[in-house]
Structure 1
Amino acid sequence: MENTGPAVIGLNTYNRHLIGQPKGPSQLGPQSVSSQPGKEPMGTQKPANASQEGPGIRFGDDWKKSLLLPAKDNRVKTSDVTATKGNEFEDYCLKRELLMGIYEMGWEKPSPIQEESIPIALSGRDILARAKNGTGKSGAYLIPLLERIDRKKDHIQGISLQNVLHKMYLLSPTPFFFYCTIYLCLPAAIVIVPTRELALQVSQISIQISKHLGGVKVMATTGGTNLRDDIMRLDEEVHVVIATPGRILDLIKKGIAKVNKVQMMVMDEADKLLSQDFVVIIEDIISFLSKNRQILLYSATFPISVQKFMAKHLQKPYEINLMEELTLKGITQYYAYVTERQKVHCLNTLFSRLQINQSIIFCNSTQRVELLAKKITQLGCSCFYIHAKMMQEYRNRVFHDFRNGLCRNLVCTDLFTRGIDIQAVNVVINFDFPKNAETYLHRIGRSGRFGHLGLAINLITAEDRFNLKTTEDQLMTDIKPIPGSIDKSLYVAEFHSVNSDCEAEASHPGGGSEAH
């Protein structure tokens, strides 16, 4: 379980870039109207020669022409993201400023999970959604969440206590944390995720698509950050808090975050959040919420723990199930039968023969992660490593640099199996085969994001044969022996044959993949 040390809301110095720039008064409610002086509510039409609306936007103009769109992604995509009903984001009557952020993210059309989820979430109904990794679940809940922000309502009290708290800190550092338990923040929406890296990723997406929504404030809070640094920065309203379970509960119990007016709670990777590691914490958080809250649950797998939670806490939820099959489409799976001593040599052979854009290599323990990373470096290959026992600041740096393409290979534990979306990853290698099918499903889902093609290779020892067979049976999939050569069109973007049907379908959220 994560560190649930001193409470913090906000981000540490390294993550300051995720907070976003405050643009004015802001609040959250069911619907939104502009709070800027002289600005008409959304939906009110102005003549083409009216005063300018937003940066370079005039009502009546073709506002899409002014958007800074990423390069179109022409990579081939699988049907789990292209088999849509033909809806457009504009069909949901979203605020224009929100649409601008959506399109500038490269999200041209809603994916199937977004088509199913957005209108239901906007109606205020609870949702239980099951969809594959990498099919747009983050957008499915962030878009309706941000759409419902009302910047005029005054029930969020992200008050300007910075000067008062600063004086407290200077005059009496020792009892500072005691004084900080006064009322500080009333977020109207919280998103709970199981890992710090996923919290930062979701925060970044939220800030990017809400950048034209003046005054909307998104804040990430996770274990391992410093309370004194972050509490002094809390001088603006906070509309959306994205947090790990232990940290948000700590904030609530210390009185720093008041959640009695929270309208929406999202649980991403709900199967992990309702596992034995977190379920008691989640139940405790729920007890502080209003009975009229809306709860949205998203995950790729829904074990019995999720069904029990749904029956207890969700009110007539709308159920979405887009899982035609458990394993991900577009991911080709192979295994290589080796001894333990042959694994590093086999890995080196894969490095030399595969065309890897970026790869993630999984081990079953933190010690093996560090040892393997050292071996890979000795082989002359670029390599980062990350695991849960590392300092948070270093984890943030590794995650940031790998996502930006500064290194080709990342060795990690199952810390990186949940929701992490790095579009450039086209190869996943299980150096150690996972102990259960659910972990295997989440591991290989780090490649082939948003319907793109990917490759998963498993190094299997004699002890893994039973787990391999069990995984195949439970996931109803076929993991084949690795051939002498692997067709590059199975996992390399430039070898994909792109037909007109694929180009006409929804493109992936993040723009093109990062070149390495």
Structure 2
Amino acid sequence: MSADEEDEEQWKSELKLPAPDERFKTEDVTLTKGQEFEDYFLKRELLMGIFEKGSAVVRELGKHMRVECMVSTGGTSLKDDIMRLYKPVHVLVGTPGRVLDLADKVASLAKVHTLIMDEADKLLSPEFQPLIERLVVHCQKPQICLFSATFPVSVKDFKDKLDSPYEINLMDDLTLKGITQFYAFVEERQKLHILHALFAKLEINQSVIFCNSVHRVEQLAKKITQLGYSCFYIHAKMQQSHRNRVFHEFRSGSTRHLVSSDLFTRGIDVQSVNVVINFDFPKNSETYLHRIGRAGRFGHLGLAINLITFDDRFNLFRIESELATEIGPIPPTIERELYCR
């Protein structure tokens, strides 16, 4: 037995990983009943907007209700946004820095009665929390709604400062349902070969492939293209206009594969993504949860494949424990029913 084989047997023994069996199949989340928009007694005009756009665009949802919506993000013209605010705006969707910039210069948020924070764990991280606290002051005691797939200390501390906060926790019921997870134990030099084999064997509608650095994202995308596959890449150091173009092209189906940094893990839904591959395994459970959550959207099933090196073995065990999930060794054949419905 070679040294690598001895190492693999040792860490498998330490982690007590089971052989593949039926436990790694997830339940069929598409059988859920009673969760239609009509069940919530919404206004007919709002339902019309939902049915027309699938809940994808806020501006379109309110068009039958005469609700004016505005989207404002960094990297776009501040002057244009200021001009748009001379007309009434009922719903403002934006990034914290841009919204705060508008509030400091021209927009009055005094009448804002609801402040919604999607991906609250990110917005309440040290990077953004000072901006959020300034926004709250501008709004003068709004109702604050926090939405997050994870609940770190930063969110808890902020929540505990609110007046009589109410918490709804669905994590025990929803975490990772519909996503089958496997790992492949590999050496670093084998990763590209394994990825090529996965492309050949899996029935991929669209895939997102995650790397742990900007350099590796660009490097891998170039190698995938050299293998003859259509592939885009996206990361935080690209210009916003370029990121927007890549995202819209990918969502429209112009390419099958997207290589990404963790920029793509939050708030981005592409219905046809049925496979997520962690080319580089993440360091923590929150990142892992957000990454593989890109598959299995809108009630569909999804598949997550993790390429694990010897150095990743303890991260694998810790993430399984923290998420109370099981990541099984990849079988010779993956049944298409696990991720193609």
1:336 equivalent to 2:188? Answer no
What corresponds to 2:213 in structure 1? 365
Structure-1 separation of matches of 2:255 and 2:27: 25
What corresponds to 2:160 in structure 1? 311
Closer, same or farther: CA 92–452 of 1 in aligned 2, 3 Å: closer
Matching residue within 241, 245, 250 for 2:101 = 250
Q: SS state of the match for residue 172, structure 2? A: coil
TM-score, length of structure 2 as denominator length: 0.87
What corresponds to 1:483 in structure 2? 331
Task: Report Cα offsets for 1:212-263 as digits up to 9, x if no partner.
Answer: 223x221111111122344344453211111111111222222x22111101
Q: SS state of the match for residue 168, structure 2? A: strand
**Contact 2:116–2:145 at 8 Å: present in 1 too?**
yes
Structure-2 separation of matches of 1:362 and 1:87: 32
Closer, same or farther: CA 378–219 of 1 in aligned 2, 3 Å: same
**TM-aligned CA deviation for residue 301 of structure 1:** 1.1
What corresponds to 1:297 in structure 2? 146
1:266 equivalent to 2:214? Answer no
What corresponds to 1:510 in structure 2? none
What corresponds to 1:206 in structure 2? 58
What corresponds to 2:132 in structure 1? 282
Aligned residue type for 2:51: Y
Q: Whose relative contact order is higher, 1 or 2, with alpha carbons under 8 Å and at least 6 apart? A: 1
Closer, same or farther: CA 90–431 of 1 in aligned 2, 3 Å: closer
**TM-aligned CA deviation for residue 299 of structure 1:** 0.9
**Contact 2:85–2:107 at 8 Å: present in 1 too?**
no
Aligned residue type for 2:120: A
Aligned residue type for 1:239: H
**Contact 2:125–2:154 at 8 Å: present in 1 too?**
yes
- 1:144-293 alignment runs, 5 A limit: 205-214=57-66, 216-254=67-105, 256-291=106-141, 293=142
Closer, same or farther: CA 103–326 of 1 in aligned 2, 3 Å: closer
Which structure has the larger Rg over C-alpha atoms? 1
1:94 equivalent to 2:42? Answer yes
**Contact 1:77–1:452 at 8 Å: present in 2 too?**
no
Task: Report Cα offsets for 1:85-116 as digits up to 9, x if no partner.
Answer: x476445443221121123345xxxxxxxxxx
TM-score, length of structure 1 as denominator length: 0.59
**Paired residue total:** 316
**TM-aligned CA deviation for residue 338 of structure 1:** 1.1
**Contact 2:212–2:261 at 8 Å: present in 1 too?**
yes
Closer, same or farther: CA 491–468 of 1 in aligned 2, 3 Å: same
Matching residue within 429, 436, 440 for 2:284 = 436
**TM-aligned CA deviation for residue 476 of structure 1:** 1.2
Which runs of 5 or more structure 1 residues have no equivalent in the other structure?
Answer: 1-75, 107-138, 140-203, 494-516
Aligned residue type for 1:221: S
Q: Give the % identical residues.
A: 63
Aligned residue type for 1:101: G
**Contact 1:326–1:476 at 8 Å: present in 2 too?**
no
Closer, same or farther: CA 437–91 of 1 in aligned 2, 3 Å: closer
Task: Report Cα offsets for 1:454-491 as digits up to 9, x if no partner.
Answer: 00001111111111111111111111111111101111
**Contact 1:447–1:454 at 8 Å: present in 2 too?**
yes
What corresponds to 2:52 in structure 1? 104
Structure-1 separation of matches of 2:83 and 2:258: 35
**TM-aligned CA deviation for residue 368 of structure 1:** 0.6
Which consecutive aligned stretches of 4+ in structure 1 deviate over 6 angstroms post-superposition? none
What corresponds to 2:275 in structure 1? 427
- 1:344-423 alignment runs, 5 A limit: 344-423=192-271
Closer, same or farther: CA 472–87 of 1 in aligned 2, 3 Å: closer
Q: SS state of the match for residue 181, structure 2? A: strand
**TM-aligned CA deviation for residue 327 of structure 1:** 3.7
Structure-2 separation of matches of 1:88 and 1:408: 30
Closer, same or farther: CA 344–321 of 1 in aligned 2, 3 Å: same
**Contact 1:444–1:456 at 8 Å: present in 2 too?**
yes
**Contact 1:274–1:282 at 8 Å: present in 2 too?**
yes
**Contact 2:179–2:302 at 8 Å: present in 1 too?**
yes
